[in-house]
Structure 1
Amino acid sequence: MELPPLFDLAAWQSRGGAHTAGEIVQQPALWAAVADLLETAQPSLEAFLGSALSQPEQRVIFTGAGSSGFIAEMVADAINAQWPADIRAVHTTSLLTHPQLYLKADRPTLLVSFGRSGSSPESVAVVEQVQASVPSARFLHITCNAHGALARHGSGRQDTCSLLMPPDSCDQAFAMTSSLSCMLLAALTVFDKAPWADRVARLRTLADHGRAALHQWDAAIAALAQWPCARVIYLGSGPLEASAREAALKVLELTAGRVLALSNTPLGFRHGPKSTLDGDTLVVMLRSAQPLARRYEQDLLDELRSDGIAGRVISVGPSSAEGAEGDFVLEAPDFSDSWLAPLWLLMAQGYALQRSAAMGYTPDNPFPDGTVNRVVQGVTIHSHG
């Protein structure tokens, strides 16, 4: 079956994937739009944050569920390394079940919530829980839906700031693609310690490289998706560990769980998970921009290719990393792994879309029976105490 280019939205319309394909390829334009948006919002954001990040007693919790939780993981450590404040990622699904492990009434706390729709049951429940547990808490909602519960909740509140992404970032397809990358880059821009102008310039630079990546990789992604693998394993270290989890989730979602997708770190993979390899397995390494991490990654790539157990082993990353035939490489800017993650996720999103189509699924709605929904349903929120 011949698969259409990512940019051929008419062809994707007939395959039930026009929303997903369009939302993947629109991302570089949206990243530039986020840059414009944040330039305008800079004064209000800086006034809201004040000096909080410079205070060691300040706690900042990045949170979300599913893909939004992976955004939190991709952001938190990179930001924590820059500031005296205690900054960490905790999924809403953990905050709801074990709040006593993460919340302290006497610690000033800023909860940063990510939400595409902003209407997942856990989103507002966690905000309300933190309000009840930490009287002095403040809230920053980063969301793509101006009409969602998160955005409505923050309206008119002195303790809350809502940062709305460009309207087109509120993906209509089942899987989060442009919503994820926009919220990720917005958080990095808002919380990074570099001068504000430099942060916004990074967004525009990434947009240029994102356009190049989509055009450069398009045919190769479609060709890779034709290979009938039974499982996909994404590997990544540092912030790219969460990127690997997100990449694996895209495969699970868009193939309706029929392709088993796993994730791990390059070093952790040898500690048991390597036993999952067989001739029907595709291994994808998300390459770090950091030289030390790249040495460990290359060791494992060499090992996997020498073993010959996995069906295919490829990597995705900057051209400065050592490459092999079939790898997805890009002349990338000299940014940190968190900032470069959206570029590597373009490949993972495109692959999941094309693999879904190759298997005969409709990527915009791979679960027509409603087993899994675009906005999570069926969650009962239980009281704490």
Structure 2
Amino acid sequence: MTVDELATHREVFQQPGVWREAAALLADRRDEVDAFLAPLLARPDLRIVLTGAGTSAFAGEVLAPALTRALRRRVDAVATTDIVSNPREVFAEQVPTLLVSFARSGDSPESVAATQLATTCLESVHQLVITCNADGRLAREHDESATSFVLLMPPATNDRGFAMTSSFTSMLLTAWLALAPGQDADLADRLAVGAEQVLSRADDVAKLTAGGYDRVVYLGSGPLGGLARESALKLLELTAGEVVSYYDTALGFRHGPKAVLRAGTLAVVYLSNDAYTRQYDLDIAAELRTAIGAENVLVVSAGESPDAWQLDGLAGVDDAALALPFVVIAQLLALRFSLRLGRTPDNPFPDGEVNRVVEGVTIHPLPR
């Protein structure tokens, strides 16, 4: 099988097209979405909780700080795995809550259990389900609920490959467009053009994997901190842990985690579009160039920056949206590292140690 025949390769490269499709699907349902969300967002005491497991949880980590700023209200990212294991802590406050669930398949045990526990623990809860699988249990259970709204992604985003790629980015884009006010009508297209710039340089990304690296560090600030975490997971998944990956924030990295640096380390720094935050990203990039050599530091930017990989046409875009074209670089790195190591990216765990849809989880009843 050639690289072009891999589902993971196809799903990475289809992203510009499915982002445009996802934005069009949301536009077609805009009146319905607004009718559901507007009364909730009008409540000053509304708490928004963004949830999912694994990569789906990291969509929430990217969005939460950006939505807090855009909506000027409390927005928390809490993984379904934390909700299921500690529901009384997560839902300790009896405040009106909008639970936004991200799920590729919607069939993982925690996805459904988290929504049920929210209903059990809270007196007032509405649920926005964003999923790639119309036949998944999560979509089916919430489709007819008067307090829920289900947003389906384009069918192609229900990735067949092991790792979430187009599913992650399409759900993230849809949530941002649905919840963040005042977004430009052409935002999805601008992001798609940015991703096309990345994909046109896929061979340049592949060359990085020939550098003898056995560990990769991803750093980002604010919403791009969540992106760094997702980037590290992609590499860990597709290389089955053979390449060590690490993530942190630009400022947090110096406080101990910098010890991960050694010969054979590639560092990727995502530069924020926020002028203030960007200063800290540039500081750590300069420090890394001194520590491990400029040739081992990849800086990614949407604005002019010396010695950075610059994506054009994205100036002024919020960091949460900027995460979409930026993550394509991490996806390509993970794919190419996997192939170079002789792994099968579509199924990096042939013995089933880790599964596409998590298995082996027992959902225990919550005592009254």
CA–CA separation in structure 2 for the residues paired with 1:103 and 1:85: 17
Of residues 297, 310, 313 in structure 2, which corresponds to 1:332?
313
Compute the displacement of 1:106 (Å).
Answer: 3.2
Residue matched to 1:358: 340
Identity of paired residues, percent? 42
Residue matched to 1:292: 276
Give the aligned CA root-mean-square deviation in angstroms.
1.6
Tell whether 2:246 aligns with 1:262: yes
Q: Secondary structure at the match of 1:187?
A: helix
Tell whether 2:187 aligns with 1:206: no
Mark the CA change 1:105 to 1:279 in structure 2 (over 3 Å): closer, same or farther: closer
Compute the displacement of 1:269 (Å).
Answer: 0.7
Query: 1:60 touches 1:88 (CA, 8 Å); kept in 2?
Result: yes
Equivalenced residues, count: 366
Matched ranges for 1:91-110 at <5 A: 91-104=79-92, 106-110=94-98
Query: 1:53 touches 1:84 (CA, 8 Å); kept in 2?
Result: no
Query: 1:78 touches 1:239 (CA, 8 Å); kept in 2?
Result: yes
CA–CA separation in structure 2 for the residues paired with 1:184 and 1:318: 19
Residue matched to 1:76: 64
Of residues 3, 10, 16 in structure 2, which corresponds to 1:12?
3
CA–CA separation in structure 2 for the residues paired with 1:106 and 1:268: 33
Tell whether 2:24 aligns with 1:36: yes
Residue matched to 2:132: 144
Query: 2:61 touches 2:226 (CA, 8 Å); kept in 1?
Result: yes
Q: Output one character per residue of 1:156-194: Cα deviation in whole Å (capped at 9) or x when no partner.
A: 111111000000000000000000000000000000111
- TM-score (ref. length: structure 1): 0.92
Query: 2:269 touches 2:300 (CA, 8 Å); kept in 1?
Result: yes
Q: Secondary structure at the match of 1:51?
A: helix
Residue matched to 2:349: 367
CA–CA separation in structure 1 for the residues paired with 2:51 and 2:336: 30
Q: Output one character per residue of 1:221-240: Cα deviation in whole Å (capped at 9) or x when no partner.
A: 01001122111110000000
Query: 1:64 touches 1:115 (CA, 8 Å); kept in 2?
Result: yes
Mark the CA change 1:310 to 1:277 in structure 2 (over 3 Å): closer, same or farther: farther
Deviates more, 1:366-375 or 1:96-105: 96-105
Q: Secondary structure at the match of 2:186?
A: helix
Tell whether 2:286 aligns with 1:323: no
Residue matched to 2:226: 242
Query: 2:129 touches 2:149 (CA, 8 Å); kept in 1?
Result: yes
Compute the displacement of 1:50 (Å).
Answer: 2.2
Q: Secondary structure at the match of 1:232?
A: strand
CA–CA separation in structure 1 for the residues paired with 2:71 and 2:238: 38
Q: Secondary structure at the match of 1:60?
A: strand
Of residues 51, 56, 59 in structure 1, which corresponds to 2:47?
59
Compute the displacement of 1:323 (Å).
Answer: 2.9
Q: Which amino acid aligns with 1:28?
A: P
- TM-score (ref. length: structure 2): 0.96
Residue matched to 1:282: 266
Q: Which amino acid aligns with 2:356?
A: R
CA–CA separation in structure 1 for the residues paired with 2:88 and 2:353: 32
Q: Which runs of 5+ in 2 are unaligned?
A: none
Q: Which amino acid aligns with 2:2?
A: A
